[in-house]
Amino acid sequence: MSDAMKIFLTNDAPAAHWGTADVTFTQDQARIHLQAGDQLRQVQQAARKIRSQGLSEVVLSGIDWDLNSQWAFALGFATAKAEGKIHWSGDEALQAALNARLESANFARHLINETPENLSPVSLATQAAKWLAKLGGDKVTYRIIEGEALLEHKWIGIHAVGRGSERPPALLELDFNPLDVDAPVSAALVGKGITFDSGGYSIKASEGMLGMKCDMGGAATVTAALGLAIKSGLNKRVKLFLCCAENLISGHAYKLGDILTYKNGVSVEVVNTDAEGRLVLADGLQAASETGAPLIIDAATLTGAAVMAVGTNYNAIFSPSSELLMRAQNKASAVAERVWPLPLDPWHKEMCPSPYADTANSRPVKGGGAGGASNAAGFLWRFVSPDAQWLHLDLAAAFADTANGLWAAGATTHGMLTIAGLLED
């Protein structure tokens, strides 16, 4: 620690010879010069610059570091190649909160950045379950349904999307229950866990496929959020469903024109095998609805349309409940994450029509056509209990294809704190 660079925050301008630099150095110290505006963003950008200088260990020094500013620094300091070491500022309680965030984020980051070859659907489900079981002890129980057994339980979508791979698809059903055996479920989480997405027969271009190891980012994010909530003393029963599959091409793969009839009776024509995320989430949302949970949250790297709408520094959120949207916005703001609501009306359920089935899984045009993110949310809505409040997060900010001023290339874990906050509410 004595050799680590000390990092200070200051509202003072840099010395004249530094010009307009936002980070300056003197011997074993660096100063981040804050200006008016979004100072947390400035801290994160400064952390990226400091890490790019080759520093792997730093001490956050001085009295100006609060929870959010230290977390912003940690996000900018993280890379896919190495975690780095940050010595936090503040009292034991503050440092414990930061360590809980970092451990949960690092778990998700490791999964998302893992190579597709090393992370099969069953491996994703198993690693998530074992990590949560380690945190929750005997309060956590789970089972993994894989391969042909999915059909026995009528989980049609996960099976269809994953059957083209030699490695079987899987559904993780996990129960965190710190209360009585028969306690009601307070919330259910659903995560998209596509460990690699080739697009199937609607195959992606090479540049669009390169980052598709991140397509299980929703599963990693909800798992990390539940883990963080458990670390923070969550005293509510929560169920978790991870919908895990590889979307590959083979003689066994599902095809355009196939019709899937789901457990709830909804029939779906496949018009785009690259719109696979909503097909697996449909199973997870039905499973979540069966728990009777009054709150259902799903997270998925679902549509490019969400990225086009809100960019890569926001996650898009959808809900039929304006009150829940407001809660999500307030929670995100409190933890310095960014969400933005996009339209979702009942008629969005009908925006992917099919002459052969109740609905199609997309529209047969490039990118799903106008309003693609809302249309995808409308599709998912068909599989949610009308008795539950439902929040859908389209994780536009979950992964950086290339390094930029805020993030190193790879997983960002943006959204984890928002979901954890909603669970703790």
Q: Among the options 167, 213, 236, 278, which is catalytic?
A: 278
Per CATH, which fold does 107-424 belong to?
Aminopeptidase (3.40.630)
Q: 66: Cβ–Cβ under 8 A, 6 or more apart, which residues?
A: 90
Tokens of 273: 């095998």
Tens digits of per-residue pLDDT, 301-348?
999 999 999 999 999 999 999 999 999 999 999 999 999 999 999 999
pTM, two decimals, is 0.97
**Contact predicate 286/263, CB 8 Å:** yes
**Residue 363 annotated to the active site:** no
pLDDT value, residue 2? 63
Stretch 86-103: mean pLDDT: 97
∠291-148-175 over CA atoms, to 5°? 25
**Residue 109 annotated to the active site:** no
Q: Among the options 6, 41, 49, 204, which is catalytic?
A: 204
pLDDT value, residue 425? 81
Tens digits of per-residue pLDDT, 175-209?
999 997 889 999 999 999 999 999 999 999 999 99
Q: 198: Cβ–Cβ under 8 A, 6 or more apart, which residues?
A: 204, 209, 212, 247, 248, 249
**Contact predicate 269/357, CB 8 Å:** yes
Q: Is the pLDDT of residue 27 over 90?
A: no
Of 396, 124, 112, 413, residue with least CA distance to 245: 124
Domain ranges of the chain: 5-90, 107-424
Stretch 99-122: mean pLDDT: 98
Q: Which region, left, alpha or beta, applies to residue 224 given φ > 0 means left and ψ of -120 to 50 means alpha?
A: alpha
Stretch 374-391: mean pLDDT: 98
Q: Enter the DSSP assignment of 408.
A: -
Q: Is the pLDDT of residue 8 over 80?
A: yes
Share the mean pLDDT of the chain.
96
Task: Give counts: helices (H), strands (E), the chain.
Answer: 13, 18
pLDDT value, residue 1? 56
